[in-house]
């Protein structure tokens, strides 16, 4: 059987002057998903290759990377459909800590800024707060986000204004909490988003939707937030 050929971005700031692409050849039987192939490189060829992964099945969101120019999760990307050599790089425009590991601190600070937890103005109920099936349905397409950052790091507006624009992932999460019938801080949440940079730097270019490995539509969520703010003014 022929080998699978890859070229992987390498950069160890402690010893490399600059990043470079390293070629590897991995036997076909190493596995069917790209993460299997990276694991083979790490475990059998070069233990210094560094990347994040945990669940191995598209749930934890930790192995977001740029695969042949497109962001995705290595664990749910079949090798069979990829042109070779497979070029694997870190998520675009993120600061590289080492090889495929990028600094997610700012991304998660932005996520925390939207207060991604249930807020009660009145006393916290002793029992759970019920929802009707229709109310629960409002969360579909939002709650499934695994915060892999594939969308935000494919968004040109986020590349250029990521310090102040919250980006598609965090905005989709904001819409998730604003759409939750049990939450009592909708107005405060909308107040926080009413800002020319935080929300309105989205120009509906739709890269985010194409990049999402969970097939979510952050651009639509951003549009819904804009509509809610518009309705509130009128």
Q: Is 135 in the site for ligand FES (CB under 6 A)?
A: no
By CB under 6 A, the count of residues binding ligand FES is 12
Closest approach of ligand SF4 to the CB of residue 22, in Å: 27
The contact mask relative to ligand SF4 for 167-206 (x = CB under 6 A, - = no) is -xx--x-----------------------------xxxxx
Joined tokens for residue 57: 């099945």
By CB under 6 A, the count of residues binding ligand SF4 is 27
> Using the 8-state DSSP alphabet, how is residue 216 labeled?
-
> Which range of residues in 26-34, 52-60, 85-93, 148-156 is near ligand SF4 by CB under 6 A?
148-156
Q: Which does 63 bind (CB under 5 to 8 A by kind): ligand FES, ligand SF4, none?
A: ligand FES
Distance CA 78, CA 70 (A): 14
Q: Is 59 in the site for ligand FES (CB under 6 A)?
A: yes
Let me know: does 48 contact 135? Beta carbons within 8 Å.
no
Let me know: does 161 contact 93? Beta carbons within 8 Å.
no
Let me know: does 56 contact 4? Beta carbons within 8 Å.
no
Q: What dihedral angle (degrees, nearest 10) is formed by the CA atoms of 197, 199, 203, 204?
A: 160
C-alpha angle 21-24-29 in degrees, rounded to nearest 5:
145
Closest approach of ligand SF4 to the CB of residue 215, in Å: 8
Task: By CB under 6 A, name the binding residues for ligand FES.
Answer: 53-56, 58-63, 73, 75
């Amino acid at each position: 059987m022929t080998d699978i050929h890859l070229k992987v971005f390498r950069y160890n700031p402690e010893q490399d002057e600059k990043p470079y692409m390293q070629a590897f050849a991995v036997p076909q039987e190493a596995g069917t998903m790209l993460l299997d192939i990276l694991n083979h490189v790490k475990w059998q060829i070069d233990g210094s290759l560094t990347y994040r992964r945990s669940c191995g099945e598209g749930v934890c969101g930790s192995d977001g990377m740029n695969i042949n120019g497109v962001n995705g999760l290595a664990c749910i990307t079949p090798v069979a459909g990829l042109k070779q050599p497979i070029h694997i790089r870190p998520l675009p425009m993120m600061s590289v800590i080492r090889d495929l590991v990028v600094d997610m601190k700012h991304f998660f600070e932005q996520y925390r800024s939207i207060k991604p937890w249930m807020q009660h103005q009145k006393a916290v109920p002793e029992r759970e707060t019920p929802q009707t099936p229709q109310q629960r349905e409002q969360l579909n397409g939002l709650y499934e986000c695994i915060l892999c950052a594939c969308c935000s790091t494919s968004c040109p507006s986020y590349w250029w204004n990521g310090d102040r624009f919250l980006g598609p992932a965090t905005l989709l999460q904001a819409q998730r909490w604003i759409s939750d019938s049990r939450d009592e801080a909708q107005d405060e949440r909308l107040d926080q988003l009413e800002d020319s940079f935080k929300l309105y730097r989205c120009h509906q270019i739709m890269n985010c939707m194409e990049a999402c490995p969970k097939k979510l539509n952050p651009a639509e969520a951003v549009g819904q937030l804009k509509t809610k703010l518009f309705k509130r003014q009128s």
